[in-house]
């Protein structure tokens, strides 16, 4: 008989779950738990949002100075 997974245990498995590296058995127990637990469902959803937002952090555009430096470097290399 499987032990029921607690919320406290579940939150420690979220990364493995989202990365797809959680073993099949644990994944099944986790999904069973999620079916009946709003708190953990919200936690998982918050984590998904967090990851999504980190991917949206805007990249700084290159300054013209940076671009000039890098192109100079490229042209020096090209000459040799």
Partner 1 sequence: MDAKLDEITLLNLLRQRDEMAFTQLVEQYHSSLVRLAHIYVQDTTIAEEMAQETWLAVLHGLDRFEGRSSLKTWIFTILTNKAKTRSQRENRTLSYTDLEESVEAERAVDPKRFKDPSADKNPGHWAAPPDSWSSIPEDRFLSEETMNLIRETIDGLPENQRLVITLHDRDELSAQEICNILGISETNQRVLLHRARAQVRHALEDYLQAEF
Instruction: Please report whether residue 23 would count as binding partner 1 according to CB under 8 A.
Output: no
Q: Is the CB of residue 42 less than 8 Å from the CB of residue 10? A: no
Instruction: Please report whether residue 7 would count as binding partner 1 according to CB under 8 A.
Output: yes
Instruction: Please report whether residue 37 would count as binding partner 1 according to CB under 8 A.
Output: yes
Min dist CB 35 to partner 1, Å, is 14
**Total residues interacting with partner 1, rule: CB under 8 A:** 42
Instruction: Please report whether residue 43 would count as binding partner 1 according to CB under 8 A.
Output: yes
Q: Is the CB of residue 30 less than 8 Å from the CB of residue 22? A: yes
Cα distances (angstroms) measured from residue 27 to each of 4, 15, 24, 68, 77: 12, 12, 5, 51, 52
Instruction: Please report whether residue 36 would count as binding partner 1 according to CB under 8 A.
Output: no
Instruction: Please report whether residue 2 would count as binding partner 1 according to CB under 8 A.
Output: no
Give the Cβ contact number of residue 18 at 10 Å. 13
């Amino acid at each position: 008989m499987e032990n029921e997974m607690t919320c406290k245990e579940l939150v420690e498995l979220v990364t493995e779950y989202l990365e797809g590296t959680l073993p099949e058995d644990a994944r099944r127990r986790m999904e069973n738990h999620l079916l009946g637990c709003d708190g953990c469902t919200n936690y998982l959803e918050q984590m998904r949002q967090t990851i999504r937002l980190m991917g949206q952090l805007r990249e700084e555009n290159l300054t013209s100075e940076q671009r000039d430096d890098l192109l100079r470097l490229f042209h020096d290399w090209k000459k040799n």
